Amino acid sequence: TVVLGIESSCDETGVALVEIGPGGAPRLLGEALHSQVAMHADYGGVVPELASRDHIRRVIPLARQALEQAQRTLADVDFIAYTRGPGLAGALLVGAGVACALAAARDLPVLGVHHLEGHLLSPFLSDDAPRFPFVALLVSGGHTQLMRVDGVGRYALLGETIDDAAGEAFDKSAKLLGLGYPGGPALARLAEAGRADAYALPRPLLHSGNLDFSFAGLKTAVLTQVRKLPAGPDAATRADLAASTQAAIVDVLVKKSLAALKATGLNRLVVAGGVSANRLLRQQMDAACAARRARVHYPEPRLCTDNGAMIAAAAALRWQAGLARPERRYAFDVKPRWPLEPISQGGPAC
């Protein structure tokens, strides 16, 4: 079965072709991606209207490119999947509209996919795919949550952020350091030259006894430090502050993930979402899990942030598990706000 997946929930337009057999893992046949980062950089954040318009411009050429790379045509596609939510309403409508239009023209069924389920299942596109059950740490621009995952569509929330997401903490701290948008990767780069113990920044909820997170206070602490800096701080000082910020975020993510493994008695961890690309996070998580004899799985680095491959893969895996049936119904809707847990088996599916 060949699935064409379309992602357009925020500021990346992604299209990919994934193949899946009855019992096997999803296999990526071809993919194309356009990031709008440069376009939004001038505004310091994503401008929803500009995002929608750019998705419209990009999605068809990207679909052609993905098909070409896979050396397939639409005639080889069995169904089309699109991100139904959560995300920016206008941006989601572009992907949903194009998916349904393509499908209607070709008499193909369509399936709406949960964006976070895409992130969560993206490691199944790696050679070293995880086995169920596992604990998942989902760390992206809009979400930070720990889940117990017993199978495709079987997700139980263990804890989540009560305010900012980890990616947001990276981005907001980066902005305070004058690093532009999205600052996560830039902050990580700057941090490489800094000392992680230069500033004692808070690790909120580290000893809260539950699996929730809080990152809003960290941003405030970074702001306080930035205000204390002399005008035009030197490069070393900024690097120190970046390194200390990154260390605080990573420390909390690693310790809470380990606490989740302990609480569930599981010894497999999946880390997914944009922040899972972070090198320090991977290093420290690998070390902490090795000490506990636990295995960690990540998406391939280029599949950590938004892409079409993870949407096609999630659709393929849901279809394979018999949890979702693509349909020839083209009266689509989107869900800008959409919690992941209720779509677990038994709950209302897509």
Determine, following the binding rule CB under 5 A, whether residue 11 of this chain makes contact with Mg ion.
Answer: yes
Contact 149, 132 (CB under 8 A): yes
Closest CB to ligand ATP among residues 77, 280: 280
Residue 333: C-alpha distances to residues 58, 79, 94, 322, 330 (Å): 21, 18, 11, 22, 9
Task: Give the closest residue to 202 by CA, choosing from 222, 172, 176.
Answer: 222
DSSP label of 161: B
Determine, following the binding rule CB under 6 A, whether residue 123 of this chain makes contact with ligand ATP.
Answer: no
232 is in an annotated binding site: no
Name the binder of 277 from ligand ATP, Fe ion, Mg ion, none, CB < 5-8 A by kind: ligand ATP
Determine, following the binding rule CB under 5 A, whether residue 7 of this chain makes contact with Mg ion.
Answer: no
Contacts of 287 by beta carbon, 8 Å cutoff, 6+ apart: none
CA gap 162, 165 in Å, rounded? 9
Contact 3, 80 (CB under 8 A): yes
Determine, following the binding rule CB under 5 A, whether residue 140 of this chain makes contact with Fe ion.
Answer: yes
Closest CB to Mg ion among residues 260, 303: 303
Contact 119, 141 (CB under 8 A): no
45 is in an annotated binding site: no
275 is in an annotated binding site: no
What SS3 state is found at 187? helix
Shortest gap between Cβ of 36 and Mg ion (angstroms)? 8
φ, ψ at 335 (rounded to 5°):
-125, 90
Determine, following the binding rule CB under 6 A, whether residue 175 of this chain makes contact with ligand ATP.
Answer: no
306 is in an annotated binding site: yes
308 is in an annotated binding site: no
Determine, following the binding rule CB under 6 A, whether residue 275 of this chain makes contact with ligand ATP.
Answer: yes
Determine, following the binding rule CB under 6 A, whether residue 115 of this chain makes contact with ligand ATP.
Answer: yes
Given the rule CB under 5 A, which of 89-97, 154-162, 222-230, 298-306 is the region that contacts Mg ion?
Answer: 298-306
Closest CB to Mg ion among residues 277, 323: 277
Q: Which of 134, 155, 170, 215 is the binder for ligand ATP (CB under 6 A)?
A: 170
184 is in an annotated binding site: yes
CB atoms under 10 Å from CB of 65, counted, come to: 17
Determine, following the binding rule CB under 6 A, whether residue 184 of this chain makes contact with ligand ATP.
Answer: yes
Where does residue 180 fall: left (phi above 0), alpha (psi -120 to 50 degrees), or beta otherwise? Answer: left
Shortest gap between Cβ of 230 and ligand ATP (angstroms)? 27
278 is in an annotated binding site: yes
Contacts of 128 by beta carbon, 8 Å cutoff, 6+ apart: 297
119 is in an annotated binding site: yes
Determine, following the binding rule CB under 6 A, whether residue 204 of this chain makes contact with ligand ATP.
Answer: no
Q: Cα torsion for 282, 343, 13, 278, to the nearest 10°?
A: -10
Determine, following the binding rule CB under 6 A, whether residue 141 of this chain makes contact with ligand ATP.
Answer: yes
What SS3 state is found at 272? strand
Closest CB to ligand ATP among residues 103, 281: 281
Q: Which of 98, 277, 296, 317 is the binder for ligand ATP (CB under 6 A)?
A: 277
Determine, following the binding rule CB under 6 A, whether residue 185 of this chain makes contact with ligand ATP.
Answer: yes
Closest CB to Fe ion among residues 12, 19: 12
Determine, following the binding rule CB under 6 A, whether residue 83 of this chain makes contact with ligand ATP.
Answer: no
Name the binder of 275 from Mg ion, Fe ion, ligand ATP, none, CB < 5-8 A by kind: ligand ATP
DSSP-derived pairing of the beta strands 79-85 and 110-114: parallel
Helices (H), the chain: 37-41, 48-70, 89-106, 115-121, 166-176, 184-191, 216-228, 235-264, 279-291, 308-320
Task: Give the closest residue to 310 by CA, choosing from 113, 60, 52.
Answer: 113
Closest CB to Fe ion among residues 240, 306: 306
- Contacting residues toward ligand ATP, per CB under 6 A: 10, 87, 115, 119, 140-143, 167, 170-171, 182, 184-185, 188, 273-275, 277-278, 305-306
- Contacting residues toward Fe ion, per CB under 5 A: 140, 306
